[in-house]
Structure 1
Amino acid sequence: MNTAELILNKANPLLPAEDFDGLRKEGIHHIEKLGSANWTEYNVSDPGITILEAVCYAITDLSYRTGFDMKDLLTPEHLGPDTFKKIFYTARQILHSSPLTITDYRKLIIDIEGVRNAWVEMSKDYEVPLFVDYSYVNEEGKGDCGCEEKEPCLGRLALELAKAEKRREEIDKMIAQKNKEIAELNDQINAPDSKKDKDKLRRQVARLQKLVISYQEAITYTTQSKILELEGLLNVMVEYEEDVIEEKQRDQIREKVVQRLHTHRNLCEDFISVNSVVYDDFSVMGLFVLKENANPEEVFARICFEIYRYFTPSVRFYTIDQMMEKINPENGQHYTVEEIFEGPALKHGFIDTQELEGSDLFRDFRLSDLINAICDVEGVVAVTNLYIPFDAAGNPLNDLDDASVYFNDWIRELRRQRRVARLKLKNSKFIFLKQREVFTYDFVNEDPAKNRAVRRFEDLKTQDQDYKLRGHQKDFPVPVGEYMELENYYPVQYSLPQCYGVGEYEELPETPVSKRDTQAYQLKCYLLFFEQILANYHAQLNHLRDIFSFDEKVDQTYYAHLLFEINNLKELIIDHDPMLNESTEHFFEEFGKILQDILEPEHMFLKRRNAFLDHMLARFGEDLTEYEALTRYVWKDKTGTKLIGDKIRLLQDYVRVSKDRGEGLNYTLPDQVWDTENISGAERRIGRLLGFSNITRHSLAVNAIVVIDIVEEKPAKAGEKKDKVYIQLVNTNADNQVILSSRPIFKDNCCIDETVNLLLGLAESRVNFYINGKVKSVSRSKTKNQQSGSFRVELRDKDGDIVAVSNEFGNDESARKHIELIMAVVRKINDNEGMHLVEHLLLRPKLDTVLEYADYNLKDYKVPPAIKVNTLDICLDACDLGKGLGQNTDSHDYKIKISRLPADKCYNDEAWVMELIRVNEIKKTIQSHNSKGKPVTIEVKLPANRSILFKTIALDNKPKIPDLLSFRHYEQLQDRLADLREFGSEISNYQIQRYTDDIADGSKREDIKYYFEIKNPENDQVLARSIYYGTIHEARTEIEAMVRYLGYQLDLYCQEDPCDHNEDPYSFRVTIVLPCWVRRFRDKSYRNFVEKTIRTELPAHIAPRIKWVGISQMKSFEDKYQAWLEELLNNPYPEYGPVNALVYELNNLVECGSCEPDHECSEMSEDNNGNRYFY
């Protein structure tokens, strides 16, 4: 303990409010300053000084109470489980976060009962590979995917590679078709008697000419294609406890792992697989020297346990106290509370991050480290020999150096195959030496289960499984103090001398009967002002926990204390009529209300409550200043009340708002599709920051707005825009009764959006409603007059034009009530704010082939028809087109082709295939000498379209197809490609091999063939072998060309990539769809703020595509979105029907306000009275 804490300050300085003498001097100073002309005696005997001293003492008491420990100030009289629920968040609630890193995910999985360890890896492999077709031209030119507006977009995604020849033919046909259309339009432009809009025709010609240019550019890229490498995909490998494996409970534990992972899945990430680790069982041979007193059986068990734990370590859990005692190796200090509670909240304790990272699957394994660990076992003197794995190649090793080299090669192979080493005693051999004895545990010919020492080893493993804590402290409790009766007030007047007549035991008559009584009443009234201030301070101090609470029931920030302690208080109130004979309880109740209204009017409460909530939000680093300013600007009525509600909801939900801000929706809950809080953390956080009253996933396209088609009796003329619709407001609480109908408008989404916005904007204000009708009679009463007749409600714009009308009513009072109903419905529509967030990664194709069995009939088809798979649109810019795979920026003789074999053609589990293809013919003239030394010219010609590199090639005269460079995982293919670029760019890593084969024709001639190998010089690994060549010159020519190409590839992939990768619309991308008709969202400034908030609050690596849509577009989108969610949440491999529908909808979303210039939505006329209306 720090000795400074034990030092006593002899001066004992007091705070100014605790210093009685100081307060008295300050009071006398003010008396001298204000009344020295009339008041000159300041002795203690003066009544004024006596009162001053009493007040000063009361102030020191207040200061003393204010200085109590915070836990004492906040502790109420009666404690309950929810006392501090809406005041404090505990460390476990507020400091933990959802898993963010790979280490966090490992902690989350290891916390599950039955899991020993787990590893999570980023994966480039996914269900169905997508290929980028660089030669495709999208004529519509959607600007969302990166291109300028109205410009054609290049590129698309496909499930299979497009053949270059076929694409060239398609493009040539498209160019010819566009040139034909251009010629026809030019003929119309040049026609002298043409009545068509020639400017419009010229714009069409310019657009077609751009398309022709784009098609001509696309021909350049017909040979380009590459696999789309998606980001954010994870593979999970789980190591189960041995008892789980023995009892065959892996499926049950795996289901728990999957559920927990998807509960905490990060936004724009997904889990490709959750599999059990693959073990590589190994045996051991060792020679050990023991101490004389050592027990060989115990030492054997301990050594086996050390070897077992070295390769398959368990992860230890700690209590809070243990973690606080541990030293952080990064800074040499004890772990802080923030560091202890970092990461996800666990059930079985706390995991040391440094220890967990030390158990990584691909950590540095060293035989020397294992030997050191064995030497630390009690009873071991030395390790003479240790061979791991023992007899793996069929022959025992001879010395330790060879064992170390073999061990390293074995570990390298384990990493490549993603396997975990596991000790198996079968075929193991342990020899222990003492001075006069030799103990041998030979399990080559002996069953380990029958050995007592082995059973001891099994006991140690069982004990090691019990590392998960139970019944431990998981959180720091909220400190609870002592209830200090802070509001217990002793009036100042009771401390005055008894002769003043105002003491505690002095009883004054209700009506003064003497001068002394009158003077006592006057003094009591005079002191009552000061008493109320002091008592209110006591009340304020006692309600400190309410002032700094985010409880929605708090309705005041100033608290008054009714001075029940003062005798005759009822007679001291001047606005009190004693003739009413009201009860004391009723009197104090009414007086309390009046006092509270004086102390804190409503406008003051709204201002102060907002300020206190801002303070509490600031403690969490939240600033709603800009939101508050814009809301006050847009939301005119009851803004203060709305802001208080928004802030309280944010604070009450802050644990999830902050902790889960990076999570995605859990798509393993089939019963939580719609009208549910199963939303992403980003939607929750953004919704709270933007003040959405409803943050569930719900329908934003409300049923209160209906679009009704108008059936025209006369058919439309050719080229005439005739289809029209009504916009109707209906009361969903009264069987969808129509309460307002708009003017007829053309059936166009742009017009519908504009009309809805106009109607809702006007209907928010009472001044835009008019009651029009004919009066037939008037009935009069004492309170009001009522007109009878035919009346209707009209909604008019600022020019007085009728925008919408209601049905007719029999009297004007019904019409007025109908206006209130319309405004109430509009308020409900405006309050229905929200957003939809779609993660693009979840829309990726997951099935190779999809058959539409519903339409399949054996009589009609030999093969069931396949559904076309929709993919998200892409639009490639010049940078993306120039790179691709780094091909075709210059002319190269080779290209790299990556593909995945379909299941029916993959004879093993290595479906990923890489090929290096010679795409151009290579010619070279070589000057050499023949066997006689004479100069000769050799022409080398290598044909085009030939695959060059393979895993193995046939080395005999039997026809055999070479083994392709195939891989089980895409990551393995990537690693091999990187090695080929690195080592294949240096000619020293090529070795030409010669193969001689006898020709079986009786001539005894030899057929000499050449091939080359590309090797990794670091471990002498053969990366690839070439095809056969007839001469050594052909092999050398191929090597020279490949060195140039792979060197170019290495330079290309090592330099900084300047492209923005528009070819990937799935990785870390989301589409956010918002309604543009609700009140706040109709304001462009507020829309900009919403977009700014979305981009700020989304994780920095996620790119949002924000779409503001009208009600028709929203209804169409929500239908597709809900259908896709229902399919996704019920099927991990969703059918392509709902997926295709949603992908098409996302590709074709049209924002509200996307209207053509000078567009018209309706036709106007006037009635006989001169009123303008629309029809």
Structure 2
Amino acid sequence: MPETLTISTNKPKEKAFDYESLRSTAIQHIEDTASKIWTDYNVHDPGITSMELLCYAITDLGYRTSYPVPDLLTDEKSDPQTVIKHFFTAKQILPTRPATINDYRKLLVDIVGIKNAWLRKRTKKVFADLVENKLVLQQPAGRRNDEVKVKGWYDVLLEYDVTVKKDEVKKALLQKAKGLVLDNRNLCEDFLEVKEVDRQPFRLCSEIEIKSTANAFDTLAAIFLNIQLFLNPLIKFYTLQEMLDAKIPADRIFNGPTPEKGFIKSEELTGSELKAEIRLSDIMNEILKVDGAININEIIFNPTDQAEELENKWVVKVKDGFQPVVDVLASNVLVYKDGMPFRPDMAEVKLRYEKLLASVLDANETKSSEDILFSTGKFRHPSVYLPLRYHYPKTYGIGHWGLPNDATALRKVQAKQLKGYLWLFDQLLANYLSQLASLRHLFSLDETETQTYFTQLADEFKNAKDLFAAEPTITDHLHNAAEPPALFHKRRNLFLDHLLSRFAESFYDHVSILQSIFPATDPKEIIKVKLDFLKIYPALSSERFLGYRYHDAAHLWDTDNISGLEKRLHRLLAFQNGNRRTLVNLITGEAEEIVAGNKKFRFHFKDNHTGKLLLLSTDLFDTVATCDEELEVAFLLATDITNYKVVNDGSGKFQYELHDKIDKLIASGEKFNTKKAAEAALKDFLEMFKAQSEEGMFLIEHLLLFPDNGEIFMPICVDPDCDDCSDNDPYSFRISIVLPAYAPRFLNMDFRRYCERTIRMETPAHILPKICWVSNDQLHELEDIYKEWLMVKAGAKDDTDGKILKQLIIVLTSLKSIYPPSTLQDCTSREERKLFLLNQNSLGTLKS
């Protein structure tokens, strides 16, 4: 029977829906403010007519505002993707890369062909020689030493599906599993061996009474199945609906890596861990669960290779790292039915047991891991506005009928006046509906958004142009009046802050530091930083503890193959380029020349990316030390554009030259055919000098520097007189973060402190970061050897003698943070005194 539609007679709860209440409030307001000149409140009064129409308009706005949120977010095309793109679904935002052992197990059992997987922690033992202050492989004899267990490694054990029998298939699964765990490696952790789990077979020796109606072979097959499933519980896969029906909340369902074969219950995964011991009482319980088994007269359950009697048959130990399995053929079971003994053929029992096991495994079919869907709503044209004038009686002459052809000039003027008066109300109401219809734009991550206050011109009436003096541009005027650029930047940031707060993220400190230290920062840049962060937030959140893929030799340099922590820090600190790449733009050095049989030296400035010579000293120096001293002087002079000249060398060529304060020529650049080209080259050089280094960082995990063979260890810090301050393990959960000190923003010590605080706050609590701000020379040296070591670690370069690793350790451990130079001043100095702050300045010379 079709539903009968009725209009409710109940008084609306919301005042915006209650026309009568709005009308009464309006009349009361008229009485309170204009009762001396306005006393006729009947419906024929034009003022009352206008008031009633405005009350009706308010109810219309209230009704549209009450639309379901999905309806307000959808667009005219009603395309689900239009709405979804503004929000992260549960499957996008809730999963994370593996963080726990169970997470890795979920990841591995999601591979088709792998039934179960386990991770085993492994440590590597070395010794700290407290006399020589170094790590050694063998315990030093006759000298004080400490045993050091370096942590962070895991071995992976795999159990294949019963259908996986061929060696080549197993090998392929091993490679896939190893690649998967390395792709999902946690920071400061690594995987050593991935192999098939070793099995320890157990046999059942027992006398069991069964029912007279029970089939002995079927009963024993069910008993062995129960025992096997107890020893190795099956990991079941569930659909999303099954998980929701089990009252498991969405955040727990999607916790961990994103599954493909279906969802797994955490308690079932934990229950399928490798057993360390087997209690005989549990085996007896599994036997008696079988319908048909009545009693157990005698029972022993022990390993098949157990020759001697067990000390305690009630608790049987399992070899560490082995998977216990029941061996049907090795078992010996005597069955009693109605008191009569019967010894069944175990080969037949095994055949029936395998059929039962296969049916159980087949029933555990893989499920699809769906996403939680949400309604995209129905488009209701919320911005469509019908002006008030259309609701006035025809006699007013302001609707679509207009005035009669014989209307007087006075009548036409009066109609225009009323239209102009009502247009103010129309515009206010139309803007409200435009704002309502644009709700989806307020939370959009689209960079092209330029409004948070939305307007629409209420011009849907006859002869609208007659009211506007500049109709073609009035829309622009309307928008600019509603939201000037400064207000847009403020409100856009507020909406983005709201979205960030939903993920417990904040850019408050970042914005504050930029506005206080770099007040010229464009507000658009702050908006862009927040948008860039939010757009890839699922990755920044789920991969925050992920290590880089060191085995991917094809993507090591000039790629985004970096740790999740680095990616997150790049966004939080607003670095323009997050790839692992060369950071030094400008390098300095000495060039050797032979003059009259003697070695001479010049200093130079080069483009580190192209190797192009930018500036070469005019003088030759007898020693490297003298050359370096003059290089320091030239370095300081090179910062001031007034120290440069563009000159003609007399042959029609032009070059830029660097002069000192007494106009002595210090160094010169490349020669050009025109003065304009030389000036352009000088400008480029000064820009490069200003940004000698690009913003970025290198994060090096110390665990990956542990030698595979030999004794190329990182240095240790040992104080024999202090038990609490020694540091004899430089590998476990340690990282070094190296940043260029000469990147423009990094020259500001306040910004440096902000960067350091952000790095320490974002680094996982169990990892200790060492932060270094290094010079271009140090960074250039590190980049060269680090790039080589990356290739070695990926297996693309040989380092059997360990020279590359040794050199990287030397360079890395010798890095020193540099600070802006300052000098100490005595009390008699007439110069303006400047503070010398520890850990913020380096002691310079008078020359610097």
TM-score of the aligned structures, taking structure 1 as reference length: 0.63
Pairs within 5 Å for 1:431-470: 431-435=334-338, 438-443=341-346, 448=347, 451=348, 453-466=349-362, 469-470=365-366
> Cα offset for 1:420?
1.7
User: Which residue in 2 is equivalent to 1:725?
Assistant: 603
User: Which residue in 1 is equivalent to 2:806?
Assistant: 1140
Q: Deviations over 1:805-848 (max 9, x none)?
A: 98899999878877875676678777x32111000000001124
Stretch deviating more after TM superposition (229-238 or 706-715) = 706-715
Per the alignment, do residues 747 and 100 of structure 1 end up closer, same or farther by CA in structure 2, a change over 3 Å counting?
A: farther
> Cα offset for 1:1140?
1.6
Q: Aligned match of 1:872 in 693, 714, 726? A: 714
Matched, 1:1069 2:725: no
User: Which residue in 2 is equivalent to 1:922?
Assistant: none
**Structure 1 counterpart SS, 2:61:** helix
User: Which residue in 2 is equivalent to 1:523?
Assistant: 418
Per the alignment, do residues 711 and 274 of structure 1 end up closer, same or farther by CA in structure 2, a change over 3 Å counting?
A: closer
User: How far apart in 2 are the matches of 1:325 and 1:754?
Assistant: 75
User: How far apart in 1 are the matches of 2:204 and 2:239?
Assistant: 36
Matched, 1:1151 2:817: yes
Matched, 1:842 2:704: yes
Gapped runs of 5+ residues in structure 2? Answer: 1-7, 822-841
Q: Deviations over 1:305-330 (max 9, x none)?
A: 1111111222112222222233xxxx
**Structure 1 counterpart SS, 2:559:** coil
- The one-letter amino acid of 2:175's match is E
Per the alignment, do residues 739 and 536 of structure 1 end up closer, same or farther by CA in structure 2, a change over 3 Å counting?
A: farther
User: How far apart in 1 are the matches of 2:543 and 2:589?
Assistant: 42
Matched, 1:701 2:596: no
Per the alignment, do residues 474 and 716 of structure 1 end up closer, same or farther by CA in structure 2, a change over 3 Å counting?
A: farther
User: How far apart in 1 are the matches of 2:591 and 2:739?
Assistant: 28
Per the alignment, do residues 275 and 1073 of structure 1 end up closer, same or farther by CA in structure 2, a change over 3 Å counting?
A: same
User: Which residue in 1 is equivalent to 2:194?
Assistant: 274
> Cα offset for 1:679?
1.0
Q: Aligned match of 2:512 in 605, 608, 629? A: 629
> Cα offset for 1:29?
5.1
Per the alignment, do residues 833 and 27 of structure 1 end up closer, same or farther by CA in structure 2, a change over 3 Å counting?
A: farther
**Structure 2 counterpart SS, 1:229:** strand
Q: Deviations over 1:227-268 (max 9, x none)?
A: 320111212222222322466632111112111111111111
User: How far apart in 2 are the matches of 1:544 and 1:75?
Assistant: 9
**Structure 2 counterpart SS, 1:441:** coil
User: How far apart in 2 are the matches of 1:1117 and 1:314?
Assistant: 50
Matched, 1:1080 2:736: no
Note the aligned Cα RMSD (angstroms): 4.0
Q: Deviations over 1:19-39 (max 9, x none)?
A: 333433444455556555544
Pairs within 5 Å for 1:1049-1064: 1059=724, 1062-1064=727-729
> Cα offset for 1:1124?
0.8
User: How far apart in 2 are the matches of 1:598 and 1:688?
Assistant: 34
- The one-letter amino acid of 1:560's match is T
> Cα offset for 1:668?
2.1
**Structure 2 counterpart SS, 1:284:** strand
Q: Aligned match of 2:154 in 234, 237, 262? A: 234
User: How far apart in 1 are the matches of 2:609 and 2:793?
Assistant: 34
Q: Deviations over 1:677-709 (max 9, x none)?
A: 21111111111111112212121112xx24253
Per the alignment, do residues 1133 and 16 of structure 1 end up closer, same or farther by CA in structure 2, a change over 3 Å counting?
A: farther
Per the alignment, do residues 25 and 752 of structure 1 end up closer, same or farther by CA in structure 2, a change over 3 Å counting?
A: farther
Per the alignment, do residues 679 and 541 of structure 1 end up closer, same or farther by CA in structure 2, a change over 3 Å counting?
A: same
> Cα offset for 1:564?
5.0
> Cα offset for 1:591?
4.0
State percent identity of aligned pairs: 31
Q: Aligned match of 1:570 in 456, 465, 472? A: 465
Pairs within 5 Å for 1:302-317: 302-317=222-237
User: Which residue in 1 is equivalent to 2:110?
Assistant: 111
User: How far apart in 2 are the matches of 1:34 and 1:716?
Assistant: 106
User: How far apart in 1 are the matches of 2:666 and 2:72?
Assistant: 60
User: How far apart in 1 are the matches of 2:56 and 2:660?
Assistant: 69
User: Which residue in 2 is equivalent to 1:544?
Assistant: 439
User: Which residue in 1 is equivalent to 2:273?
Assistant: 360
Pairs within 5 Å for 1:115-514: 115-124=114-123, 126=124, 129-136=125-132, 155-164=133-142, 223-245=143-165, 249-326=169-246, 334-362=247-275, 365-389=278-302, 393=306, 405-408=312-315, 411-412=316-317, 414-415=318-319, 417-435=320-338, 438-443=341-346, 448=347, 451=348, 453-466=349-362, 469-470=365-366, 472-506=368-402, 514=409
Q: Deviations over 1:897-939 (max 9, x none)?
A: xxxxxxxxxxxxxxxxxxxxxxxxxxxxxxxxxxxxxxxxxxx
**Structure 1 counterpart SS, 2:260:** coil
Q: Is the 8 A contact 2:703 2:733 kept in 1?
A: yes
> Cα offset for 1:519?
1.7
Q: Deviations over 1:468-524 (max 9, x none)?
A: 654534210232211111122222221222222221343799x99722222222222
> Cα offset for 1:11?
6.6
Per the alignment, do residues 1086 and 10 of structure 1 end up closer, same or farther by CA in structure 2, a change over 3 Å counting?
A: farther
Q: Aligned match of 2:768 in 1103, 1107, 1110? A: 1103
User: How far apart in 2 are the matches of 1:655 and 1:802?
Assistant: 57
User: How far apart in 2 are the matches of 1:596 and 1:276?
Assistant: 68
User: How far apart in 1 are the matches of 2:698 and 2:635?
Assistant: 20
**Structure 1 counterpart SS, 2:131:** strand
User: How far apart in 2 are the matches of 1:812 and 1:31?
Assistant: 80
User: How far apart in 1 are the matches of 2:664 and 2:80?
Assistant: 61
Q: Is the 8 A contact 1:104 1:344 kept in 2?
A: yes
Per the alignment, do residues 1062 and 743 of structure 1 end up closer, same or farther by CA in structure 2, a change over 3 Å counting?
A: farther
Per the alignment, do residues 664 and 829 of structure 1 end up closer, same or farther by CA in structure 2, a change over 3 Å counting?
A: same
User: Which residue in 2 is equivalent to 1:684?
Assistant: 567
User: How far apart in 2 are the matches of 1:60 and 1:723?
Assistant: 87
Q: Is the 8 A contact 2:733 2:767 kept in 1?
A: yes
> Cα offset for 1:18?
3.0
User: Which residue in 2 is equivalent to 1:53?
Assistant: 52
Per the alignment, do residues 757 and 559 of structure 1 end up closer, same or farther by CA in structure 2, a change over 3 Å counting?
A: farther
Q: Deviations over 1:18-63 (max 9, x none)?
A: 3333433444455556555544444433322322222222222222
Q: Deviations over 1:1090-1140 (max 9, x none)?
A: 000000000001000100011121111111111111111226996423212
Q: Is the 8 A contact 2:587 2:777 kept in 1?
A: no
Q: Aligned match of 1:833 in 695, 702, 706? A: 695
User: Which residue in 1 is equivalent to 2:829?
Assistant: none
Per the alignment, do residues 729 and 252 of structure 1 end up closer, same or farther by CA in structure 2, a change over 3 Å counting?
A: closer
- The one-letter amino acid of 1:387's match is I
Q: Deviations over 1:545-594 (max 9, x none)?
A: 12101122322222222335233222321125xxxxxxxxxx3xx44334
Per the alignment, do residues 34 and 473 of structure 1 end up closer, same or farther by CA in structure 2, a change over 3 Å counting?
A: farther
- The one-letter amino acid of 2:516's match is Y
Stretch deviating more after TM superposition (870-879 or 1122-1131) = 870-879
- The one-letter amino acid of 1:24's match is R
**Structure 1 counterpart SS, 2:115:** strand
User: How far apart in 1 are the matches of 2:36 and 2:619?
Assistant: 82
User: Which residue in 2 is equivalent to 1:331?
Assistant: none
Aligned residues: 814
User: How far apart in 1 are the matches of 2:339 and 2:299?
Assistant: 22
> Cα offset for 1:790?
8.9
**Structure 2 counterpart SS, 1:1108:** strand
> Cα offset for 1:796?
11
Q: Is the 8 A contact 2:200 2:322 kept in 1?
A: yes
> Cα offset for 1:620?
0.6
> Cα offset for 1:76?
1.6
User: Which residue in 2 is equivalent to 1:172?
Assistant: none
User: How far apart in 1 are the matches of 2:139 and 2:609?
Assistant: 54
User: How far apart in 1 are the matches of 2:111 and 2:56?
Assistant: 62
Q: Deviations over 1:599-636 (max 9, x none)?
A: 32222222221221111111111111110111223444
